[in-house]
Amino acid sequence: MTPTRKRRLILISMVIMGVAVATAIFLTAFKDNIMFFKSPTEISQNDFPVNRSFRLGGMVKEGSLQRLENSLKVQFEVTDYGADVQVEYEGILPDLFREGQGVVAIGRMENKQLFVAEEVLAKHDENYMPPEVADILLTEGQQ
């Protein structure tokens, strides 16, 4: 093998190794960070990822919002008018969080009834809302 060829071979094998490592990291990162979206109905049918974060979307049920005395803990129910899910969240709710409005909560199921949210997203303004909320509003409008 000539020196040029040898060098080229080393270079090519380095590139291939780099690509392989990058792909491996990429796939792992991807697998761990894909977040599924579930509706209350799906959750009531036990169709949700266990011990893993996902996005729960629906409407905040009228009259369900409760604030715990002297803390930032809130509880509310998310409904898609088929089923309800109890949600618990500690922190500041977004500006446009309202009962009867669309919401997306990111978190996991504590048990089969309670969803603990790490983050709550609501409409950002009249035009800006998470796409899932827009879809829910749309289907609600059709009913």
Partner 1 sequence: MLPEIGQFLLVLSLLLATALTVLPMLGYAKNNQTLMQTARPLSHVLFITIMASFVILVVLFIQQDFSVLYVAENSSLELPLRYRITAAWGAHEGSILMWVTVQALWISAVAKFSRSLSLSQISRVLSVLGFIALGFVAFVLFASNPFETIFPVPIDGNDLNPLLQDFGMIMHPPLLYFGYVGLSVAFSLSVAALIGGEINEQWIRWSRRWTNIAWAFLTMGIILGSWWAYYELGWGGWWFWDPVENASFLPWLAGTALIHVQAVSERKNAFRGWTVLLAIIAFSLCILGTFLVRSGSITSVHSFAADPFRGIFILVLLAIYSGGALVLYTLRANQLKSRDTINLNSRETLMLANSLIFITATFTVLLGTLFPMIFEAVGKKISVGAPYFGLMFFVLMIPMAVLLPLGSQLKWHRDDVMAAIKQLMPYLLVTTVLAVIVWFLFKPLNIRAIAGIYGGLWVFTATVGQWIKRPGRATAGFIGMSVAHIGVAVFLFAMSMTEHKDIEQDILMSPGTTKQVGGYDFTFTGVDRVRQENYQAQQGHVEVRREGRLITTLNPQKRFYPKQQMPMTEAAIYAGWTKDIYVSLGEAVNKEGAWAVRIYIKPLIRWMWFGGILMLTGAIIGLFSARIKRQEDKQRDQVMAQQLNIS
For partner 1, the binding residues (CB under 8 A) are: 7, 11, 22, 25-26, 29-30, 32-37, 53, 55, 67, 69-72, 90-93, 95-96, 124-132, 134
Minimum CB distance to partner 1 smaller for 25 or for 114: 25
Among residues 109 and 136, whose Cβ is nearest to partner 1?
Answer: 136
Minimum CB separation from partner 1 for residue 115, in Å? 17
**Nearest to residue 86, comparing CAs of 96, 97, 74, 77?**
77
SS3 65: coil
Token pair for 33? 């960070």
Please report how close the Cβ of residue 17 comes to partner 1 at its closest, in angstroms. 13
Least distance from partner 1 to the Cβ atom of residue 121, Å: 10
| Of 86, 106, 100, nearest in space to 38 by CA | 106
Residue 122 near residue 97 (C-beta atoms within 8 A): yes
**Enclosing H/E stretch for 3:** helix 3-33
> Cβ of residue 29: shortest distance to partner 1, in angstroms?
5
Going by C-beta distance under 8 Å and a sequence separation of 6 or more, which residues neighbour residue 123? 96, 101, 102, 129, 133
In three-state secondary structure terms, 11 is helix
> 50 vs 111, which CB is nearer to partner 1?
50
Tokens of 99: 């009962």
Of 56 and 109, the one with the shorter C-beta distance to partner 1 is 56
Q: With respect to partner 1, which residue has the nearer C-beta, 111 or 125?
A: 125
- What is the closest distance, in whole angstroms, from the C-beta atom of residue 14 to partner 1 in the complex? 10
